[in-house]
Amino acid sequence: MLSSHDHPFARLHITGNPFSMATSQEHFFHTPATRTILEELAHGILTRKGFLALMGEVGVGKTSLALQLFSRLESEPVDFAWVFTTMFTKEDLFRAIAEDFGLHPDPGWTLLDHQRALQEFFLARYQEGRICVIAVDEAHNLTFDSLEALRLLGNFEFGGHKLVQVLLIAQPELAERLTEPCLRQLKSRIAISRTLPELSHKELVDYTHFKLATAGSQLRLTPWGARRLWRGCRGNVRLANLILERALYACMALDARALDGRVLGAALGEVRQERGAVDNLPWTWAVAAMLGLSMALAFVPLWEVDGKRLSAAAVLWEVLRPNASTQGAQP
């Protein structure tokens, strides 16, 4: 019988799976881009800029970076509401926001009722010296009506200050949608918009070694292995995690002492067999996984942890805060 400390990679003398799909905030790999974006978004929230946008392709780590932002602002007077699915009517969107802020909307409330309750909540928090933030993941899927409703909600001010900050986390399609004439007012309201890029070749190698080191591994990615990994993922972090996890299995099967070209070749072969052409992976399995998470969270706006009812934002922090987190990868 396996002990609780055993795991599939115990033979490699590492502690856990460094490339797990579970997000690890404690072992987040920063690049110059992530550090810059993190500080700019934090500054935008703390100075009440209003609307902000974080964009990037599927699998580059937008949600992980947003969670880093959550952690970065934990010691600040900030209240977060997180919306993880955008398959909403504008009424449902406002209900989800209200519930995540801890309000208790009546089932019969109209959009105007939700808006009025939220505005009263934002004003009360402002008078207490607190900042309210709405983070909307998958914001590119919002309907035009929902985006316009968010714009109107974000217009609420007091004493020349924005009472709610809205962070739109989205794929590049949002930028295209914002060029539509009906959304030009929202586009003009976005004070800070940043795009999270894929890792460069060097950053991908550094990321691999960083994650291995956090698990106590002495394995190294050879130049040949790095070239194969790069060709397989082109710096997409989520796809890199998938390939590298398979590479650890291949390393054991081949009794290899490094993540070399032979090991990465075997890993890529397995990924191709399981998922189809590697080049198509970011747009198939990753999207399905993200939608699955979004749908699960959509139907449970309030969760229970250790007997306490918590918002979605609070639950994420309970699960992902460094002291509670298990070894994992990003995004």
Indicate the residue among 144, 172, 195 that finishes a domain: 195
How do residues 49-92 score in pLDDT, each as one tens digit?
A: 999 999 999 999 999 999 999 999 999 999 999 998 767 789 99
In this predicted structure, the answer to whether residue 15 has a pLDDT above a threshold of 90 is no
| 125 and 45 assigned to the same domain | yes
pLDDT value of position 48: 97
| 131 and 154 assigned to the same domain | yes
| 111 and 221 assigned to the same domain | no
Owning domain of residue 61: 32-195
Q: Which residue has the higher pLDDT, 292 or 137?
A: 137
Is the pTM here over 0.85, yes or no?
Answer: no
| 105 and 209 assigned to the same domain | no
Residue 67 in domain: yes
pLDDT value of position 201: 98
Q: How many domains does the chain have?
A: 2
| 85 and 121 assigned to the same domain | yes
pLDDT value of position 293: 41
How much is the average pLDDT of 185-207? Answer: 97
> What is the spatial distance between Cα 257 and Cα 88, in angstroms, rounded to a whole number?
50
| 53 and 131 assigned to the same domain | yes
pLDDT value of position 11: 75
| 116 and 165 assigned to the same domain | yes
> What is the spatial distance between Cα 300 and Cα 311, in angstroms, rounded to a whole number?
9
| 188 and 240 assigned to the same domain | no
| 72 and 102 assigned to the same domain | yes
Residue 294 in domain: no
Contacts of residue 228, defined as CB under 8 A and 6 or more positions apart, other chains included, come to: 261, 264, 265, 268
pLDDT value of position 77: 98
Residue 78 in domain: yes
> Mean pLDDT across the chain, nearest whole number?
84
Q: What percent of the chain has pLDDT over 90?
A: 67
How do residues 16-62 score in pLDDT, each as one tens digit?
A: 788 887 766 778 999 999 999 999 999 999 999 999 999 999 999 99
**Which of 104-108, 221-225, 282-286 tops mean pLDDT?**
221-225
Q: Which residue has the higher pLDDT, 216 or 234?
A: 234
**pLDDT class for 276, splitting at 50, 70, 90?**
low
Residue 168 in domain: yes
pLDDT value of position 7: 63
In this predicted structure, the answer to whether residue 326 has a pLDDT above a threshold of 70 is no
In this predicted structure, the answer to whether residue 267 has a pLDDT above a threshold of 70 is yes
Q: Which residue has the higher pLDDT, 9 or 118?
A: 118
| 47 and 165 assigned to the same domain | yes
> What is the spatial distance between Cα 17 and Cα 9, in angstroms, rounded to a whole number?
7
